[in-house]
Every structure is written in structure tokens, then in C-alpha cells.
Amino acid sequence: MLNLKIQSTTGVILFAAILFCAGCTENPRVDSKGASQTTDNPLTKTWSGLHDGVPSFDQMSLGDLKPALNQAMALNLIEIENIATQSTVPSFDNTIVALERTGKVLDRVFTYYGIWSSNLSSPEFRKIEQEMAPIMSAFFSKISQNQALFERVKTVYDNLDSGTLRADQKRLVKLTYNGFSRNGATLSIIDKNRYTEINQRLAELHTQFGNNVLIDEENYAVFVSESQLGGLPTSLVNAAAAAAKELGKPEMYAITNTRSSMAPFLTFSEQRSLRQQVWSNYYSRGDNGDQYDNNKIIAEILNLRHERVGILGYDNYAQWRLEDRMAKNPENAMALLTAVWPSAIARVLEEVADMQAIADAENIGIKIEPWDYRYYAEKVRKDRYDLDSDEVKQYLQLDKLRQAMFFVAGKLFNFTFTPVAESSVPVFHPDVKVWEVTDKISGNHVGLWYLDPFARKGKRSGAWATSYRSHTSFEGNKTVLSSNNSNFVKAPSGQAVLISWDDATTFFHEFGHALHALSSRVEYPSQNGGVRDYTEFQSQLLERWLMTDEVINNYLVHHQTGEAIPKALVKKIKAAATFNQGFATTEYLASAIMDLKFHTTDPAGIDPDIFERKTLAALNMPKELVMRHRSPHFGHIFSGEGYSAGYYGYMWADVLTSDAAEAFAEAPGGFYDPDVSASLVRHLFTPRNTVDPSDAYRSFRGRDADIKPLMRDRGFPITD
């Protein structure tokens, strides 16, 4: 998952980050050019030290956050006003490029804000977050609805064809103009006011939704005794013991309410009643009928989003959201999902039949339920492929996988990763480690890569990538500060951290986002963003290198013996590559389809719980599994607007992924072919958002992507 950093520069911001937002109640001292004279707040200070300066994570203090936000927002508004009130004729340089220069102080503050929000949340921070969300939303509205500024941008946009701008500069103008026009700049004063009110309320609701989910993750854990550990692998037992100790019950074993703890427990535990309890805790996050229940919040979010796009003249939220994405409209997105859906649920029926046969043979009189799926799927896997997930896990050491990712980055991108001395780069938690990234051909510094790998209280679940600073060159080259964040369960001291094959795949996926950031060669900050249903493509593609012989033979070694993974076991892994694709595809598609249904339906009077159940029933959703993200904890679409009406994008990007992977498979050098690798980096990684993604893909592949490789990858039938 790509975690879009809040940026204050108008081109990207305005609006992907509206969920966080702004406003100013305290004014810093500023000079006539808008330069702040206040330097005593460590969160606003210019970054110093090596590598073009790094965040002062060691100086973070919550007491500084609100003053820093208010100061930085006030300064940013002055910068914006200086551009808007110029007497000179609007031009690309004095308007569009000038906007790209604004907001540096606010960018720095938002970096710290993002760390507290995602990695170090606490009740004290959540109080600040809830208070500041509508204030920040109002701030962004002040920029997006600044009429004088918009008129200058519009003048540059209207004269685009008469100038001599490069293609990337023309695209920047269009992106900047669309950012204003699609977010209320053309509205009447009355409508602008209502638009702002809606955004402020949405900011509150998005924040509350995410915090409710985090609270449910923190407040629910299943404690089991030693007699209830049957079937669990040693690595999970050790991790559960460590978790219980941290939670104050050293004599017990804790299964925490996160996916990285839930999934392996459901896969291996012999205790069916405990599997049901762990499953219920996880899939009921945000849906427990208490003060943290998210259903009413969902209903209000949907109604406000619908009203807001109605003011802009759109029929529904998804129509507005997808207009500037590869899919272009919700009909195209839904067509892709529904094209795959029948094959996915048909495969689920086959999988359930196989599992039920094993359950019947055990003569225990059960029907497969959602909390049984992973457990019996594992039995089928062992029976059909003689493949034991826990046996595979013994060869999946976190540190070795990280080395494997570095190897791939070296072969494809010519990057070298070197550990940075802990004293030279501040970090926000002892778990975080840092590497310097250099170009192994030129020796030039590229950036830094931060890794925060482990779950802990206050850290949101899942895995994501973010950038503390993106590459730009218009004011001198700025190197990249990129971060990957995971929630692996920490092993006891001195033991290797072992992860599942799925988690290893996700590790590679998120590293793909980091490589996308590190390989950027764009000139203007705003073009480090991207089109949402395209930006997952690069990361999904990188997952494919986990299965390459070079990685398997050199980095998948046993954590105790150091021996390479046996070829026979590798053969089993590859033979089972499409195993359980019914489950994996259906749980994802159900969430993606539900997202689009929520955002293409008139939400008046909607009850999210009833709507979810009726929609899934109409789809013939198999009762033996649930959506990957049930609505009350679907943070992708309700804790912000980054993925709202856009969760389909993972499947859209996977069409590109499967098609591009076949380009490597067909090349003389396979997945490490130097010519295809160079083309991949040149056309699909370094340009970021300077090129239309459809054009970029055609430059790489020589044609548009085809859905057939996707169907082949998943083992589904192909029909013309």
C-alpha cells in the first residue's frame, strides 16, 4: 500500500491529502516575503546533517506539533497569497513553478505528523489529530478556493498551446489546473462555503474512523494457555509468548488483533472455537456496537461525499474520483472486476469442496465456515502438493529477504544499499534501521531507505511505503528519503524473524513502492505523485522477483542450519502457485466491488451493514469467506480518500503486472534481462507522473496490456 505523504505544494496536494487538512489560529512572525523568523520549534526547522538533511526524529515532541502546524500553515498561506496577488502577467514560471516552491516548512511538519499518525499513535496524539483535522481541511480549502490564484493558473492553462513548454511541464500545468477545477475553484461563493464545510466534517470522520479501528486492534487479544497451542508452529508460539509478556500476562500466549497474528493462527490452530474467536475479533473491528463502531460514520461519509460531488455536477462520487485515472469511469473499473468474479467464486466452490472432503473424513460433523478456510486449505495444500506452509516459513528469514530485495534492486536499478551508522541518522523508534542508497555505477548518492518492520502498540496495521522527501531537480537535486513499514511479529531476542510466503510477497511489494520513489528523476515535486490505479503496478510487479531462481537459491536458507531451501520444496511451491486463488481473488474482489457499489449508489438513508450484506448476496458471495476488508474497518476507503472508489486499482494494476511479467519471461535473460530491465526503469519507474501512464506502458511493452496474462497467472479459464 502506498501511503501518500501530505504535501503542501499545490500540484499534488491539494487534494489527495484533503483527509488531513488545515487552518491557522496562531500567527508566526514573518517578513514581507513570507519567510518565517521563528526557528525554535524543532518540527519546523530546516533538516540538517548528511544526505541533504534528514528529519530530526530524535527531537519529536507532541507539545510542538500544534504550534508547528499552525505556524507552517500560516506561512504557506502567505506564500500562496504572494503568488496570487502578483501584478505580473501569469506565466509558467511565476505561477506554476512558484507554487512548486511553496510549503517547504509545512512539508517538514507533515512528515512528523505522518509518523505520529501511522507509526507512533497514542491517545494524546489522537486528541490532537481529531482537533486539527477540520482545521487543516479548512486550510487546504483556502488554497483550492483562492480565486485570484485559480485565475492565474487558468490563464497559464488556457495559453498552454501557445507556449514552448516541454511535455512534462505541460502535464504539470494540466495537473495543477485540474487540482483546482475538480476541487471547487469554479463554484459560487455559497457552494464554496458548503464545499469547505463538507471537507472539514469529512476530515473529522476519516480521522475518527481510523482511530476507532486502531482502538479495536489494541483492545482485543485472545489469550491462550499452553494446552491450547496444538498445531501452532514454534515461531508463532514464541511470538505469542512475547506478545503476552508485553501485554502483562507472561504465563499466557497472546494472539493480537492484527493480520500478521490472526492469519497464521487461523492457518494452524487445532482449536476451532479459538479460531472462531480470533476470526470474529479481527473481522468485527469497527463493528462491535460500542462507542468505536464505524457504521454511522460510514453512512455520514458516503452522504457527504455524494453531496460534495453533486455540487461539482457529477452523478456520483466514483464518477468524479475515476475521471483522471486510467479506468476513466466506474463502468470500466466494474467491468474488469466482474470479468474476473465468476471464475473466482467458481474456484472458491472447488476449494471448499476439497476442504469439506477432508473435514468429512475426520468425521467431526462440521461444515466449512470462514474461520475454517485457512486451516483446511492448509490441509488440502499438504495433501495435494505435500507442501507445508510452516516448512516453507523456516526458510523465510526477514533479514535474508531484505538482502534479497537489495540484490534485486542492484540487478535491475544498479542500486547499492549500505547500512548507516545508527548515530548519524535520527530514527523515531529503536526498531527503525536506515540504509544509504547509491548508484553502483556512478557511485552517486541516491537517497536513504528507512525500515520499520515490527508491530507495536500505536502502529496501524498492515504494510505501507511512504517518502519523507521525494526527488526533485528544479532547485538543485534533492535526494530521496524513502520508508517501508510492516507489522511483522518480533521474535524473541536472538532468534530469526520468520514470516509467511504471503508476508514475504508483501515485503517485496512495498519495497517496489520504495524503488519507485528512489528511481525518480522528475524536476518538479508534484510529479512525484501518480495515478492511483497505476502506482500499485510497479510494486506488484516487484513481487515476481521473489520467485526467481537467483533469490530462491541464494537467500531462502534455513534459519538454523543455513542450508538452502531444497529443490524439491521449491518445486512444490511453484506447483502450488495458483493454489487457493479462489480465496485470495474473491476476498479482494468483494472489497473492490463493494467500494464501487458504495460510491455509485445514492446513499440517502443507507445502512452500511445491511447494504454490505445485500450487495454480497446479490453477487452470490460464498458464505465460507468474507471480504478482505469488511466495511467497518475498510481504512483504504473510509479513513481517508486515497483509495476511495479506487480499491479496484490493485486489480487494474495487476493486469499491467501480469502482462509486463510476461515480457521478462519471454526475454533472453529472463527476469534479470538487462535490456528489459533498463526499459522498465526508464519508462515505468523514473518518469513518475510526468507521463500519462497509458503512454508510459505502451512505451515499455509496445502495446496496451492484455487481461489474458492475469487469468493465466491465477489459473482461471480464458475466454475471448
* Whether residue 312 sits in one domain with residue 267: no
pLDDT at 333: 97
Q: Residue 127: name the closest of 191, 63, 60, 217 by CA.
A: 63
pLDDT at 720: 64
Looking at residues 129-143, what average pLDDT do you find?
94
CA dist list (Å): 358 to 362, 378, 379, 481, 596: 6, 11, 8, 50, 37
How far, in Å, CA of 607 to CA of 90, rounded?
49
- Is 60 exceeded by the pLDDT of residue 478? yes
Q: What's the pLDDT tens digit per position in 307-351?
A: 999 999 999 999 999 999 999 999 999 999 999 999 999 999 999
Beta strands in 228-306 (DSSP E): 253-256
Q: Taking the C-alpha atoms of 378, 379, 383 and 389 in order, what is their torsion angle to the nearest 10 degrees? A: 30
H or E stretch at 221: strand 221-224
Helix axes 259-268, 234-246, angle to 10 degrees: 140
Is the separation of the CB atoms in 437 and 447 below 8 Å?
Answer: yes
Q: What's the pLDDT tens digit per position in 264-281?
A: 999 999 999 999 999 999
Is the separation of the CB atoms in 572 and 559 below 8 Å?
Answer: no
pLDDT at 161: 87
Looking at residues 186-195, what average pLDDT do you find?
95
Predicted TM-score (pTM) of the model is: 0.88
Length of the chain: 720
Q: How confident is the model at residue 537 (pLDDT cuts 50, 70, 90)?
A: very high
Is the separation of the CB atoms in 516 and 539 below 8 Å?
Answer: yes
Strand order of the β-sheet with 464-469 is 415-419, 433-439, 445-454, 480-488, 464-469
From 283, 313, 338, the end of a domain falls on 283
- Is 70 exceeded by the pLDDT of residue 564? yes
Which grid cell is 387? 507442501
Q: What's the pLDDT tens digit per position in 570-624?
A: 999 999 999 999 999 999 999 999 999 999 999 999 999 999 999 999 999 999 9
Which grid cell is 503? 508476508
Considering the domain boundaries, does residue 290 fall inside one? no
Alpha helix locations (H) across 421-500?
none
* Whether residue 94 sits in one domain with residue 156: yes
Which grid cell is 697? 506502458
* Whether residue 665 sits in one domain with residue 631: no
Considering the domain boundaries, does residue 59 fall inside one? yes
CATH number of the domain within which 81 lies: 1.10.1370.40
How many CB atoms are located within 10 Å of the residue 197 CB? 16
CA dist list (Å): 331 to 302, 537, 584, 637: 19, 21, 23, 19
Q: What's the pLDDT tens digit per position in 285-312?
A: 999 999 999 999 999 999 999 999 999 9
Looking at residues 541-563, what average pLDDT do you find?
97
Considering the domain boundaries, does residue 393 fall inside one? no
Is residue 253 helix, strand or coil? strand
Q: How confident is the model at residue 39 (pLDDT cuts 50, 70, 90)?
A: low
Looking at residues 246-252, what average pLDDT do you find?
95
Q: How confident is the model at residue 423 (pLDDT cuts 50, 70, 90)?
A: confident
**b/e sequence 305-315, b meaning 16+ C-beta within 10 Å:** bbebbebbebe
Which grid cell is 489? 511479529
CA 423 to chain centre: 30
* Whether residue 502 sits in one domain with residue 601: no
Which grid cell is 92? 509558467
Considering the domain boundaries, does residue 179 fall inside one? yes
pLDDT at 67: 97
How far, in Å, CA of 519 to CA of 512, rounded?
10
Beta strands in 580-660 (DSSP E): none
CA 560 to chain centre: 33
- Is 70 exceeded by the pLDDT of residue 690? yes
pLDDT at 41: 95
Q: Residue 307: name the closest of 199, 208, 210 by CA.
A: 199
Looking at residues 153-175, what average pLDDT do you find?
94
- Is 90 exceeded by the pLDDT of residue 19? no
As a whole number, the mean pLDDT across the chain is: 92
CA dist list (Å): 492 to 246, 499, 576, 685: 12, 14, 31, 38
Looking at residues 249-261, what average pLDDT do you find?
94
Q: What's the pLDDT tens digit per position in 620-647?
A: 999 999 999 999 999 999 999 989 999 9
Q: How confident is the model at residue 711 (pLDDT cuts 50, 70, 90)?
A: very high
Which grid cell is 295? 457504521
**Residue partners of 584: CB distance under 8 A and separation at least 6:** none
Considering the domain boundaries, does residue 3 fall inside one? no
DSSP secondary structure, 289-323, as one string: SSTT--HHHHHHHHHHHHHHHHHTT-SSHHHHHHT
How far, in Å, CA of 98 to CA of 102, rounded?
7
pLDDT at 3: 60
Is the separation of the CB atoms in 332 and 326 below 8 Å?
Answer: no
Is the separation of the CB atoms in 110 and 6 below 8 Å?
Answer: yes
How far, in Å, CA of 624 to CA of 51, rounded?
52
Q: Residue 84: name the closest of 149, 128, 142, 39 by CA.
A: 149
How far, in Å, CA of 350 to CA of 457, rounded?
39
* Whether residue 611 sits in one domain with residue 665: no
Position of cell 510487479? 541
Considering the domain boundaries, does residue 141 fall inside one? yes
Residue 490: what residue type? Answer: K
How far, in Å, CA of 233 to CA of 674, rounded?
41
Q: Hey, which residues does 488 pair with through a beta bridge?
A: 454
From 592, 615, 638, the end of a domain falls on 638
Q: How confident is the model at residue 15 (pLDDT cuts 50, 70, 90)?
A: very low
Considering the domain boundaries, does residue 192 fall inside one? no
CA dist list (Å): 46 to 26, 29, 78, 105, 453: 20, 17, 18, 8, 27
pLDDT at 14: 34
* Whether residue 526 sits in one domain with residue 403: yes
**b/e sequence 5-36, b meaning 16+ C-beta within 10 Å:** bbbbbbbbbbbbbbbbbbbbeeebebeeebeb
Is the separation of the CB atoms in 574 and 547 below 8 Å?
Answer: yes
Q: What pairing do the DSSP bridges indicate for beta strands 415-419 and 464-469?
A: unpaired
How far, in Å, CA of 6 to CA of 114, rounded?
8
How far, in Å, CA of 545 to CA of 667, rounded?
15
Which grid cell is 461? 496495521
* Whether residue 265 sits in one domain with residue 152: no
Residue 320: what residue type? Answer: W
Is residue 644 helix, strand or coil? coil
* Whether residue 547 sits in one domain with residue 504: yes
* Whether residue 136 sits in one domain with residue 83: yes
Of 22-31, 65-74, 107-116, 192-201, give the lowest mean pLDDT range.
22-31
DSSP secondary structure, 377-413, as one string: HHHHHHHHH---HHHHHTT-BHHHHHHHHHHHHHHHH
* Whether residue 601 sits in one domain with residue 457: no
* Whether residue 243 sits in one domain with residue 381: no
How far, in Å, CA of 18 to CA of 184, rounded?
13
Looking at residues 240-251, what average pLDDT do you find?
94
Q: Taking the C-alpha atoms of 121, 123, 125 and 130 in order, what is their torsion angle to the nearest 10 degrees? A: 110
- Please give the share of the chain, as a percent, with pLDDT higher than 70: 94
* Whether residue 127 sits in one domain with residue 238: no
CA 332 to chain centre: 23
pLDDT at 475: 87
How far, in Å, CA of 529 to CA of 643, rounded?
14
Q: How confident is the model at residue 33 (pLDDT cuts 50, 70, 90)?
A: very low
How far, in Å, CA of 655 to CA of 335, rounded?
13
Position of cell 486528541? 127
Containing domain of residue 678, as a range?
Answer: 649-713
**b/e sequence 216-255, b meaning 16+ C-beta within 10 Å:** bbbebbbebeeebbebbbebbebbbbbbbeeeeeeebbbb
Q: What's the pLDDT tens digit per position in 223-244?
A: 999 999 999 999 899 999 999 9
Question: What total of structural domains would you count in the chain?
Answer: 5
Considering the domain boundaries, does residue 215 fall inside one? no
Residue 46: what residue type? Answer: T
- Is 60 exceeded by the pLDDT of residue 12? no
Looking at residues 96-124, what average pLDDT do you find?
96
